[in-house]
A and B are shown apart, each in its own frame.
Chain A
């Protein structure tokens, strides 16, 4: 199977659903089906990549180095599978909840095509193009629901993220000036021999650009209104799928293309990450409504990814990848279950909450374990203490929501059985990965090995 197939499939599906009225049930389910097919195709691709190693195709049969390449390696493909799965769950939730806008299924499919492209391209300019496809679709999707404050939040979201995008574009121009190539392998090779000052400027613009997408502490201010205003399915997609672009971008550009610079700037990354963790946790504890707590929790949780990146090396990168995966699943699960009621959903929300706090038997436990390993590997007592403190704080705020919203059974507005299904499935995934974490650990180590040149 070719690695262009999932990309083409979802893209073509997006074009077809854009022509049809997405409010009609059959069209909406067609979109869900296309995403499902894309998800299955990506899973098959992942199995191939893990067994046979990375795959590359060069468009138009041009020689490598001239043509534009698509490449599936362990790092890209794991993020692609994750994002497509979250999009699938989020769209299924919205479809069950009755779509109000004819464009939503097409927008989600365009988002899926963009994300697949971002994770499977080997060309930095194509990375930008697919990245913009994803972001434009998500600006539009973030206003789904049409409430007044949502549109205001969506506007700020678009403006701030566009500034980040253009900063990335300037960084990209700088990369091309310095290296004269766009192929990721070639760029990494050429940057290693370039003048450090130029490389430092590139690194800063890339770091700021992806920090804005992730919503890290000093660049976070657009995030809470968007996540609070969005409908549960869209919030799950934004936090669980679109935000992956930020983590992946930092891993790919930081770990793969600028490893020396990120090693030198580890202190900056650690400070930014710690600030995010502390700020997110304190804000989350002081909030009352579930969606606000989750939004601030999202700011805090990405801080761990940055801390693991600061540690670097095989252990640090593996921890960063693992935590990014677990965090995306947690956030999607929590947003999808926070506004539905019933004992089953309550249990699912509890699994998500335990996972955020890092309590076994949830996938989040292994995320935290890997972070501790990274902290010990870096011989930093401060990092270990910070991770512990952050975990304790997240336990407090997660169970504040749980106590308020689920123990007191006052919201008896349970919205149908079917609305629970996406959340329950995600909860099973989180629980399953907590009980049998070996595949996840193996995948994240394999993905980290692509960054460190085969070192485990």
Chain B
């Protein structure tokens, strides 16, 4: 088990890591970043928790067990973004509003379907990585026990 300092630092780092991840996600449309890299950063934050605190404590205090399920819901969301344009007769993955059109903004965030797609990718990557980390951690515990 790791020392008190690493445990406290790991806990303190979680919130900033998630904020950075969200920042990478939302500024991806004007600057460097996208849902995928945001997902990886957030997953690294959670992995840090697993490494320092141990699986049981993380899964007791954080809702990480929901993330793998959320990943499949996000996959459905991404597929919906891809397929909904079909109902209007457009090809798959046609984003709206189209390039050049006026975009509704909330603060600095531009609302368009590409953002929804990237948010889905974010959750998908996060959920998949956390699912794998969970499986590996549990397998390790089983091996230790025997």
Interface size on B, residues (CB 8 A): 17
| B64: interface (CB < 8 Å) | no
Give the segment of B6-14, B55-63, B92-100, B135-143 that binds chain A. B92-100
Taking CB atoms, residues of chain A closer than 8 Å to B75 are 11, 15
Taking CB atoms, residues of chain A closer than 8 Å to B69 are 19
A19 touching B72 by the CB < 8 A rule?
yes
| A392: interface (CB < 8 Å) | no
Q: Which B residue sits closest to A57, measured CB to CB?
A: B91
How distant is the Cα of A35 from the Cα of B86 in the complex, in angstroms? 20
Taking CB atoms, residues of chain A closer than 8 Å to B92 are 2, 4, 8, 57, 59-60, 70
How distant is the Cα of A354 from the Cα of B79 in the complex, in angstroms? 44
Taking CB atoms, residues of chain B closer than 8 Å to A201 are none
B90 touching A19 by the CB < 8 A rule?
no
Q: Which A residue sits closest to B114, measured CB to CB?
A: A60
- Residue with the highest number of chain A CB atoms closer than 10 Å, among B93, B94, B95: B93
Residues from 98 to 134 in B contacting A, C-beta threshold 8 Å: 98
How distant is the Cα of A208 from the Cα of B92 in the complex, in angstroms? 34
Q: Which A residue sits closest to B79, measured CB to CB?
A: A12
Taking CB atoms, residues of chain A closer than 8 Å to B79 are 8, 11-12, 15
How distant is the Cα of A24 from the Cα of B80 in the complex, in angstroms? 26
| B51: interface (CB < 8 Å) | no
Q: Which B residue sits closest to A1, measured CB to CB?
A: B86
Chain A proximity of B131: nearest CB distance (Å):
11
User: What is the predominant secondary structure among interface residues of chain B facing chain A?
Assistant: helix
Taking CB atoms, residues of chain A closer than 8 Å to B90 are 61
| A378: interface (CB < 8 Å) | no
A61 touching B91 by the CB < 8 A rule?
yes
- Given that A15-B72, A15-B75, A19-B72 are contacting pairs, would A8 and B93 also be in contact in the complex, using a CB cutoff of 8 Å? no
Chain A proximity of B124: nearest CB distance (Å):
10
| A58: interface (CB < 8 Å) | yes
Q: Which A residue sits closest to B124, measured CB to CB?
A: A15
- Given that A2-B86, A5-B86, A8-B79 are contacting pairs, would A19 and B73 also be in contact in the complex, using a CB cutoff of 8 Å? yes
How distant is the Cα of A12 from the Cα of B72 in the complex, in angstroms? 9
Q: Which A residue sits closest to B78, measured CB to CB?
A: A15
How distant is the Cα of A8 from the Cα of B86 in the complex, in angstroms? 11
Residues from 33 to 72 in B contacting A, C-beta threshold 8 Å: 69, 72
| B17: interface (CB < 8 Å) | no
Chain A proximity of B75: nearest CB distance (Å):
4
| B83: interface (CB < 8 Å) | yes
Interchain CB contact (< 8 A) of B72 among A2, A18, A58, A59: A18
A4 touching B72 by the CB < 8 A rule?
no
Taking CB atoms, residues of chain A closer than 8 Å to B93 are 59-60
Interchain CB contact (< 8 A) of A58 among B82, B91, B95: B91
Q: Which B residue sits closest to A18, measured CB to CB?
A: B72
| A16: interface (CB < 8 Å) | yes
| B76: interface (CB < 8 Å) | yes
Residues 7-32 of chain A, each 1 if its beta carbon lies under 8 Å from chain B, else 0: 01001100110110000000000000
Residues 290-301 of chain A, each 1 if its beta carbon lies under 8 Å from chain B, else 0: 000000000000
Chain B proximity of A337: nearest CB distance (Å):
35
Residues 86-116 of chain A, each 1 if its beta carbon lies under 8 Å from chain B, else 0: 0000000000000000000000000000000
Chain B proximity of A358: nearest CB distance (Å):
42
Taking CB atoms, residues of chain B closer than 8 Å to A58 are 91
Q: Which B residue sits closest to A68, measured CB to CB?
A: B93
Q: Which B residue sits closest to A60, measured CB to CB?
A: B93
B76 touching A60 by the CB < 8 A rule?
no
Residues from 48 to 102 in A contacting B, C-beta threshold 8 Å: 57-61, 70
How distant is the Cα of A18 from the Cα of B79 in the complex, in angstroms? 15
How distant is the Cα of A8 from the Cα of B92 in the complex, in angstroms? 10
Taking CB atoms, residues of chain B closer than 8 Å to A12 are 76, 79-80, 83
Taking CB atoms, residues of chain B closer than 8 Å to A15 are 72-73, 75-76, 79
Chain B proximity of A224: nearest CB distance (Å):
29
Taking CB atoms, residues of chain A closer than 8 Å to B72 are 15-16, 18-19
Chain B proximity of A66: nearest CB distance (Å):
13
Interchain CB contact (< 8 A) of B94 among A16, A61, A70: A61
Chain B proximity of A394: nearest CB distance (Å):
43
A60 touching B83 by the CB < 8 A rule?
no
A residues near B, CB below 8 A?
Answer: 2, 4-5, 8, 11-12, 15-16, 18-19, 57-61, 70
The 8 closest A-B pairs by CB, nearest first: A15-B75, A59-B93, A8-B83, A57-B91, A60-B93, A4-B92, A61-B94, A15-B76
B residues near A, CB below 8 A?
Answer: 69, 72-73, 75-76, 79-80, 82-83, 86, 90-95, 98
Q: List 10 A-B contacts (CB under 8 A).
A: A2-B92, A4-B82, A4-B86, A5-B83, A8-B83, A15-B73, A15-B76, A16-B76, A60-B93, A61-B94
